[in-house]
Amino acid sequence: MGIGDKFENTKDDLVGKAKEATGKATDDEQMEAEGKADQTKADLKQAGENVKDAFRN
């Protein structure tokens, strides 16, 4: 996995966490849900990269 991919996945996860926290703080359920979805997407992308790395070695 490239460092760029890892950085991008981490960035997406952090953005999702920030959205979720903002949604909770402002009682905005839609933003909170979007944050959780962003985190899930980042986790799935990371898992895919880990699978690719496992087959490369």
Rounded Cα–Cα distance for residues 52 and 42 (Å): 15
At 32, list the tokens.
């909170």
At 29, list the tokens.
């359920």
Confidence at residue 20, expressed as pLDDT on a 0 to 100 scale:
97
Q: For the chain, what percent of residues have pLDDT higher than 90?
A: 70
2: helix, coil or strand? coil
Q: How confident is the model at residue 57 (pLDDT cuts 50, 70, 90)?
A: low
* pLDDT at position 2 over 60: yes
At 36, list the tokens.
């959780």
Rounded Cα–Cα distance for residues 55 and 19 (Å): 34
**Average pLDDT, rounded, for the chain:** 91
Q: Which residue has the higher pLDDT, 49 or 14?
A: 14
